[in-house]
Amino acid sequence: MRMQLSGASQQQGIALIVGLILVVALTLVGVTAVRLATTDERIAANSLYGAVAFQAAESALTEASDEKTIHELIVDCVEHGCETPREVKRYRYPVDVGGGSVNATAVVTLSEDQVWKQRSLSWEGSSLGVGVANFNVRVFRLQADGEGPPNSNAKARHFLGVGRIVPARSQ
């Protein structure tokens, strides 16, 4: 024996199905909106942390590049060589991010990039004469590698070139 559903019962069933479909659709729209908002927040945070890492590198480079320190480092490199980069300064950079304070870090390294040899320099009014003022221009690179706050994976690199004129060694 089959039960016959009345027209009112069929309409209620259809309304229930349509209502469930609408609930599922609205849930999907809500979840998507939350995911997009989270992604936007991550992008903004990565941008902020990248800027913090760059600021750390720049600050470390500024701290490490005072004239006395650079002079001592370059004299040491000229006398003993700078074949491999060496660490100059490790720097902690306190930053206020989102109401809390975090530390970014930077490591400054010094390496010799280039040696330009200049021979037989003379200039107008020089009492040295041609061929006397042989010298080398040694250019060194200070490189600061900055990192953002812990767990941010933000990194930045900043360079500064410094040079020194040294007498050419006779060969």
Residues in contact with 97: Cβ distance below 8 Å, sequence separation at least 6, in sequence order: 48, 49, 52, 149
Q: Is the pLDDT of residue 154 over 70?
A: yes
For a pLDDT cut of 90, what percent of the chain falls above it? Answer: 4
Q: Which residue has the higher pLDDT, 139 or 114?
A: 139
Average pLDDT of the chain, as a whole number:
70
Q: What pLDDT sits at residue 126?
A: 56
Q: Is the pLDDT of residue 21 over 70?
A: yes
Q: What pLDDT sits at residue 127?
A: 59
Q: What pLDDT sits at residue 131?
A: 47
CB-based contact 113:161 (threshold 8 Å)? yes
Span 113-125, pLDDT tens digits: 555 555 555 556 6
Biggest distance spanned by C-alpha atoms of the chain:
125
Local confidence band at 171 (pLDDT 50, 70, 90 cut-offs): very low
Q: What pLDDT sits at residue 24?
A: 92
Instruction: Report, as an integer, the average pLDDT of 75-103.
Output: 65
Task: Identify which of 14-28, 54-68, 96-110, 134-148 has the greatest average pLDDT.
Answer: 14-28
Instruction: Report, as an integer, the average pLDDT of 46-62.
Output: 76
Q: Is 146 left (phi over 0), alpha (psi -120 to 50) or beta?
A: beta
For a pLDDT cut of 70, what percent of the chain falls above it? Answer: 52
Residues in contact with 145: Cβ distance below 8 Å, sequence separation at least 6, in sequence order: 57, 106, 107, 109, 155, 156, 157
Q: Is the pLDDT of residue 163 over 90?
A: no
Span 25-51, pLDDT tens digits: 999 988 888 887 777 777 777 777 777
